[in-house]
Amino acid sequence: MQINFTSLPNRQSQLNLAYPKEFSGAAHIEQRTSSAAAEWGNMKIKELWFEGVCLFNSHFNVNTTSAMRLQCGSFCWVMNFVLDGELAVQSNTEDVNLTLEKGRYHTFYCSALDIDLVVNQPTEVFTICLTQRFIRKLLGKDILPENFEGGGQEPFTLVTTDEYRDGRFKVLIKEMVKAGQPDYIRRIFLEAKILELLSMQLERLENKQSSPGNFSKEDVSRLEEAKTLVEQNLQTPCSLIELARKTGLNDFKLKKGFKELFGHTVFGYLFELRMDSAYQLLKEGKTVGEVSEIVGYKNAHHFTSAFKKKYNLLPSQIGKILTFILSGYTFSALSAYFFE
């Protein structure tokens, strides 16, 4: 399995990245850093892979608009998340031209990768590449096209494209980029995050394809706007009246539509976002008091109660759990200390 980066228009080879079949390896996780330089600037790619999965954190430091051809002879299911800058993707086999700015993503698959990447400013992209076997096992033949099971040639197929600027998407990506556990733990951790990320994408796509009953496309767009406003205002959330006024929805459509489209009430979704952010901040070493304020709780006791309701753990225990894991304690030892 090999991925080739070729600089355009001079077709000068920049990087040839070779991998074992299905990204399998002897170790729990394989990783390396690759780089290349040319007249347009330089690129640096941090790679990490294990069976069925390869992750790339790519930095393109360009001084002029640059194009590179990216080719791989094997099936690819690709999720690209632009962390900074802007990335344009053009398929050489299908009439597809996508431009992603910071805070957006797309997911596509094809039997063989042949695309051009165009960057015109310093850009960072986080990419997840999954093999055909991984996707087939995960989604099953009832969901996937017949060609998957028959071994046919899949054209470039765009699954979904959307934004991830705030909320759980952003937390998941940050956790994956910064994951630093021992390899055997990190592999389990990363696979779990990939599955959650993929499920969230497909759920969002499903919701968009089946708009809530009695809600127009304009209503759905306004509900998406309401969701973004909730995500952007954890510390000082809007009241329902303010949210309705800012999005142009009446109270009924806001409450009913939000629940149908996103699976939570407005304040239920706010609670989930706060708890996700709090968990990540506690892992990063912030104090309970600091986290309580950051996620919008004026009273640390109220925050502690809410956190325990969500995770069945006190927020002060998160740092201790991480210390135990990194020290090599077994699950039974953890259970005895924290849950008995």
Q: How much is the pLDDT for 323?
A: 55
Asked whether 277 and 285 are in contact (CB, 8 A), the reply is no
Q: How far is CA 29 from CA 87, 124, 181, 190, in A?
A: 28, 23, 11, 10
pLDDT by 10s per residue, the chain, length 340? 778 777 777 777 678 888 888 998 888 999 999 998 888 888 999 999 999 999 999 999 988 888 888 888 888 899 999 999 999 988 877 777 888 999 899 998 888 888 888 998 999 999 999 998 888 888 776 666 555 544 456 678 888 888 886 678 888 898 999 898 899 999 999 999 999 998 888 887 776 666 555 677 788 888 888 998 998 888 888 888 899 999 998 888 888 888 888 878 999 999 999 998 998 888 888 899 999 999 999 889 999 999 998 888 888 888 665 554 445 544 444 444 444 4
Strand, coil or helix: 10 = coil
Cα radius of gyration (the chain)? 22
**pTM of the model as a whole:** 0.67
For the chain, the domains span 2-164
Q: Tell me: domain 2-164, CATH 2.60.120.10, correct?
A: yes
The CA distance from 106 to 86, in Å, is 13
Residues in a beta bridge with 317: none
The CA distance from 114 to 100, in Å, is 18
CA 119 remoteness from chain centre:
21
Tokens representing 36 are 């290349």
The single-letter code of the amino acid at 208 is K
Q: How much is the pLDDT for 162?
A: 84
Strand, coil or helix: 248 = coil
